[in-house]
């Protein structure tokens, strides 16, 4: 797979809501023409209300705003909350799977899991942080450790064009939308040298980009020379990615994983620990982050390769959800992210030791293998079920508009896009 690399970008690593929300709010307050927001979760709490207030003020200045949320992740917004946005002119869209009974209900597991903000086609944000108070440390021990990235430069055009594709299925006039001027010009596809300021936008959808993010991870791991450092909240990848990690470790690459030690869902730890024996046996260092729930989806490879985005390394993110990441070649950003992850390792992680793992036996091996293949395989099995349509519900100032598209085409390019 060839990536569309964009040169001359500028990056700012944002750790947790304390850094992310002020940066986004500052960009909104300076917006002149357009704001596009995609988020899995928007809660009506301190953070959600702060976002609403800034969107209302921005829309009243005449800025066009499209706010897209997932119907599962943001199910409980009040009519008063939405009415205030709508009266100001904000267009609100929900990626909302229809409610069906029986086996078709399983298709509802498709989710808009992306976290993307684009302001005026110039400033972009991408990462794993939602708009909810549980991304702030003041929330207490259940607050999440996470990352996002502020972007300026040509790669923002790619985020902008793709955000337009997302809302094309939601807005009545959506299929007449066009990407910003210059967005259709193909950038270089060769590997950037020197690795400074380059970025590529990658996504996972149910049409033409089913495995792009996973392929990027695997390519970076296979070509790693010295170090692979991955911090991922929900770690249960396919056997090919696991094989690449183990092979990298066996050939002398320092492979380190930072996974959840205090997960927000107990099943996360159970699933990840099914993999520990094989990984640790081949020299992969597994660290469990124990201060609070880890929600990050980031990685650093060698001196300059970085990915930050919404995609976990689990069956939902790799096989079902709509996800968005960026791949960056930049030494300064790699140094900043590596420094942050090393701090987590030193202060709040415990390394998994082979001696402390349950002793392997034939029964445990068979049970683990069966469980692994069932958990990893069910997203692919769902594709054999009758494919329903996913409903977009758009709340516009003049009323509610509902549209449906097949799940396989949920992120299909629209007229004028490439």
Catalytically active residues, by annotation: 113, 115, 120, 295, 297, 302
CA distance 309 to 326: 6
Helix/strand/coil for 394: strand
Please work out, in degrees rounded to the nearest 5, the angle formed at the alpha carbon of residue 195 by the alpha carbons of 192 and 199. Answer: 70
Round the CA-based radius of gyration of the chain to a whole number and report it.
21
Q: Are the C-beta atoms of residues 117 and 27 closer than 8 Å to each other?
A: yes
Cis preceding-peptide flag for 194 (omega within 30 of 0): yes
CA distance 255 to 338: 13
Q: Are the C-beta atoms of residues 147 and 229 closer than 8 Å to each other?
A: no
CA distance 16 to 31: 23
Q: In which element (H, E) is residue 345 found?
A: helix 331-348
């Amino acid at each position: 797979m060839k990536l569309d690399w964009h040169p001359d970008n500028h990056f700012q690593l944002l750790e947790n809501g304390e850094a992310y929300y002020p940066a986004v709010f500052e960009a909104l307050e300076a917006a002149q023409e357009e704001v596009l927001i995609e988020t899995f979760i928007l809660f009506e709490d301190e953070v959600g209300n702060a976002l609403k207030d800034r969107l209302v003020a921005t829309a009243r200045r005449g800025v066009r705003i499209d706010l897209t949320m997932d119907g599962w992740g943001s199910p409980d917004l009040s009519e008063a909350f939405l009415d205030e946005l709508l009266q100001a002119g904000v267009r609100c869209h929900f990626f909302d799977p229809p409610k069906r009974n029986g086996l078709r209900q399983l298709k509802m597991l498709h989710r808009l899991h992306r976290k993307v903000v684009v302001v005026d086609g110039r400033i972009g944000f991408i990462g794993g942080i939602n708009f909810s108070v549980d991304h702030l440390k003041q929330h207490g021990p259940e607050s999440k450790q996470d990352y996002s990235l502020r972007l300026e430069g040509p790669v923002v055009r790619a985020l902008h064009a793709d955000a337009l594709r997302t809302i094309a299925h939601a807005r009545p006039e959506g299929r007449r939308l066009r990407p910003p001027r210059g967005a259709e010009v193909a950038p270089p596809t060769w590997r950037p040298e020197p690795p400074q300021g380059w970025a590529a936008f990658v996504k996972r959808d149910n049409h033409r980009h089913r495995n792009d993010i996973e392929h990027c991870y695997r390519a970076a791991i296979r070509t790693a020379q010295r170090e692979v450092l991955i911090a991922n909240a929900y770690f249960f990848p396919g056997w090919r990615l696991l094989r690449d990690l183990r092979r990298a470790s066996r050939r002398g690459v320092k492979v380190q994983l930072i996974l959840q030690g205090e997960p927000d869902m107990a099943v996360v730890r159970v699933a990840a620990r099914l993999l520990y024996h094989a990984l640790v046996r081949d020299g992969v260092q597994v660290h469990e982050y124990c201060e609070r729930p880890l929600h990050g989806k980031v990685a650093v490879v060698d001196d300059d390769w970085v990915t930050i985005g919404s995609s976990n390394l689990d069956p939902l993110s790799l096989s079902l959800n709509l996800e968005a990441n960026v791949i960056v070649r930049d030494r300064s950003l790699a140094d900043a992210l590596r420094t942050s992850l090393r701090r987590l390792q030193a202060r709040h992680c415990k390394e998994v030791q082979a001696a402390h793992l349950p002793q392997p036996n034939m029964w445990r091996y068979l049970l683990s293998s069966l469980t692994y293949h069932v958990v990893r395989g069910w997203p692919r099995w769902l594709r054999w079920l009758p494919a329903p349509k996913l409903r977009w519900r758009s709340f516009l100032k003049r009323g509610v508009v509902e549209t449906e598209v097949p799940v396989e085409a949920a992120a299909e390019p629209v007229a004028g896009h490439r």
